[in-house]
Amino acid sequence: MRQLKLHSKGFTLIELIIVITLTGIVAVFISTISGNQMSAYIDVSARVNLVNLAESSLRRIGRDLHNAVPNSVRVSGNAIEFVPIISAGRYRSAPSALAASNHLDFSSVDNSFQIMGDLTQPTTGSRLVIYNFSWVDGSGPIAGVNLYGSASTGILSPLGSHVISPAGNEITVTDNGVNDLVTLDSDFQFALNSPNKRFYVVNGAASYLCDTGAGEIRRYAGYGIQNIQPTSGALSPLSSASSAALLVDHVEACTLTYSPGSTQRKAIVTIILTLLDNGERVRLVHQVHVGNRA
């Protein structure tokens, strides 16, 4: 009878320990590489998100400033204020041979004039602005020639005149075909005749306020135009503004500067915005050219 011999094959304990050790080393090596790659991806994603937030916010501010009444932009600390244009057009400044011609008289009070084209009926509370010169002195806006100031004292323009119609003097638009008629509730004298015969319809002021304590920038709108620029969201008129929308958060710092130019015909608003989130920081510099040709 033939005897079968069985041979046992396998790993020794030492071999198993070596394999387990090497496997652990490789796993740690792979996890370290993957972890670094994942961490870098997360960091890059965070920076991209911050850049997108900053760029979209700066573009929104730029669009608003491009739509501001000429010479209405002003900066104080971390606040920038302007008067948005609702609509605009050109007014008739001299008599015409056309029947029922009605021009805007700057030599005395007037309450109606024709425009060159059509105008949508403004909302209640709207006001007209013509040739806002925006002069200031040591005490603030000069009366009669700066829409933020009071009516003229009679020094630079006729007494009681102004570049903006009074609050409460409502505007009515009558459809007259190609030359609509604009009528004010009460007689009023505009201070200055615009070289380009432009008028602007406005309804309150707007501001961007950078609050580094709260880490945000908010846009306030729908509040009354006043002499002193508001710089606190907790105080009137910003606290009672009809709109107080968040523009961007994660704000660490911001710097606002305004250079009106020597001729008041060009201006540059410079905005330096720094955003911070989870240790990632981006800093963008943006300049907005504001056309001040009234």
Q: How confident is the model at residue 260 (pLDDT cuts 50, 70, 90)?
A: confident
Read off the pLDDT band of 4 (50, 70, 90): low
**Among 34, 5, 52, which Cα is nearest to 284's?**
52
> Which of 260, 200, 207 is closest to 229 using CA atoms?
207
Predicted confidence (pLDDT) per residue in 93-137, tens digit = 888 776 578 999 999 999 999 999 999 999 999 999 999 988 888
What is the strand order of the sheet 74-76 is part of?
Answer: 74-76, 79-82, 205-211, 216-223, 243-249
**Is residue 41 over pLDDT 50?**
no
